Amino acid sequence: MNKKLVGERLRALRQKKRKTTTEVADACGISQSALTMYENGERVPRDEVKMRLANYYGRTVQTIFFAKENHICD
């Protein structure tokens, strides 16, 4: 898993929904600082948080965290 690529995907998905980090973090039950670290590629979320983020964005965990291509925001 490429943490930088995952971070870029998470940021792009959030921006596409036009949400702030606070809004997404609150909806997913995580801290804003944790989400920021995920988006910056500094940390990878636990499996439970991966599922919450995927559900929030209407994507699969596989697509966000493990796909090799970077076209998930289409």
pLDDT higher at 17 or 67: 17
Name the band, by pLDDT with cuts 50, 70 and 90, for residue 68: confident
Long-range contacts, stretch 65-72, CB < 8 angstroms, 24+ apart: 65/1, 65/6, 66/1, 70/5, 70/8, 70/9, 72/9, 72/12, 72/13
Domain boundaries, given as residue ranges, for the chain: 3-66
Choosing among 3.90.1150.10, 1.10.260.40, 1.20.1090.10, 3.50.50.60, the CATH entry for 3-66 is 1.10.260.40
Specify whether the CB–CB gap between 60 and 54 falls below 8 A.
yes
Residue 4, pLDDT > 80, answer yes
pLDDT over threshold 70, residue 50: yes
3-state secondary structure of 15: helix
